[in-house]
Amino acid sequence: MIKRLTMLLAAAALSLALVPPPTADAALDPNVKCRTKIGTGTRKLVDKVLKEKAKCFTKQMAGLIPGTVDCNDLEDPAFPGAVKIDKARSTLLNLTQRSCAGADTPQTNGYVICPTVECGGIAITGYESVASCMQCLAEAWSCDAIEQAYGTPPAPPDANQFKCQNFIGKGLRKHMVARIKQQQKCQFEEDQNNTGRNCAVIDLDTDPKGKVDKALVKMRTLVNRCDETALAALDSCGDTINDEKVCLEALAVGHADDLFGDLYTPAGTNAIFVSDQQGSPGGTGTIDDPVDTIGGGLTLADGQGLSNVFIDGGLYSESVTLVSGINLLGGFNSFTSWQRDGSQTSLFGGTTAASGPAS
């Protein structure tokens, strides 16, 4: 009997051992998991772009690659870091595809349009297009930061200019990536606990270990190592040591915060939705409860301090008074989860369809 009991316990232990333990991701809300992984992929791409562009300039200044290579153009066939950047792009796409399969539609989560002129042509039809949008934004902000920090390096540089240029690139990357990483870590915790923290702001609440401040000190220390005469000869955004530190900090903070907003407060989370077919006069203007008129949408947006009104395809018979600072975007289709598929949006308002405030 004892032998049989021992065998049964052993078999039970074996069966338990064969059941894999639940992973941390398995317990996550699918929407939280989705944008967390998009954020991880985006951050890795930013890091890679900043690193490979800086390396391109370093090689060019050292005479290892021709001066005809455009280190500010990731699509230049001769760009030396193209393979590594393509790998980071694939990582972002793969993380998105794997992690967003169980999430709500992109539009429900606020990903309705891809912002900025550079990336506005990307239509959001699924999470693959969200990944494409974030790739575009990550590269646009990273490239802009490097262009302002590096400008056009001298060819050939002297030794002090070469060293200073490397200090600038390394310092910018450390600070910008550290800020993005801490903002995302804070937001991941906030998504689960909802304590009311604004993770875009870096302070003791959002960065209790001071990791971003440490990266900032490291950036300033690196710039302090520049020879000021050499710095003045570079085509960077600061002509003095102090000006350079101020400029690099502004670039890192501004572009990291822009990316944070693009990912965690996308356009659809701060917009009013209008649909003549599915909306109602008392609608709150959310994607699930649209208002039924453009004028009503403008009133709600103005009252809530929002900058976008998204309009479903349809026929709107009303006269609209435009509001300064509020964009009207038509062409959406509420029957396909508010994808912007070019559905015709028409406004008929009698003698005056739309009027605007006096300039």
Delimit the domains of the chain by residue range: 30-265, 268-355
Q: What is the dihedral of CA 60, 61, 62, 67, to 10 degrees?
A: 40
Instruction: Report pTM.
Output: 0.85
Q: Above 50 in pLDDT, residue 12? A: no
Question: What is the C-alpha to C-alpha distance for residues 326 and 322, in angstroms, rounded to an integer?
Answer: 8
Amino acid 357: pLDDT: 52
Question: What is the C-alpha to C-alpha distance for residues 183 and 328, in angstroms, rounded to an integer?
Answer: 31
The token pair that represents 66 in the structure block: 């021709």
Helix (H, G, I), strand (E, B) or coil at 105: coil
Cα within 13 Å of Cα(45), Cβ side: 31
Question: What is the C-alpha to C-alpha distance for residues 211 and 207, in angstroms, rounded to an integer?
Answer: 7
pLDDT in tens, 300-318: 999 999 999 999 999 999 9
Question: What is the C-alpha to C-alpha distance for residues 341 and 244, in angstroms, rounded to an integer?
Answer: 45
Cα within 13 Å of Cα(329), Cβ side: 24
Give the mean model confidence (pLDDT) for residues 131-145: 96
**Among 77-81, 275-279, 354-358, which stretch is predicted with the lowest mean pLDDT?**
354-358
Amino acid 350: pLDDT: 60
Give the mean model confidence (pLDDT) for residues 179-203: 96
Amino acid 4: pLDDT: 43
Percent over 90 (pLDDT), the chain: 82
Q: Above 60 in pLDDT, residue 289? A: yes
Question: What is the C-alpha to C-alpha distance for residues 291 and 284, in angstroms, rounded to an integer?
Answer: 6
Give the DSSP H or E segment for 310: strand 308-312
Nearest to 312 by CA among 281, 349, 283, 287: 287
In this structure, the strands spanning 327-332 and 354-355 are unpaired
Q: How does DSSP classify residue 166?
A: H
137 CB-contact burial (10 Å; exposed 0-12 / middle 13-18 / buried 19+): buried
| CB contact set of 325 (below 8 Å; sequence gap of 6+) | 307
The token pair that represents 252 in the structure block: 């890192």
Query: Cis link prior to 208 (omega < 30° from 0)?
Result: no
In this structure, the strands spanning 271-274 and 314-317 are unpaired
pLDDT in tens, 86-112: 999 999 999 999 999 999 999 999 999
pLDDT in tens, 58-71: 999 999 999 899 99
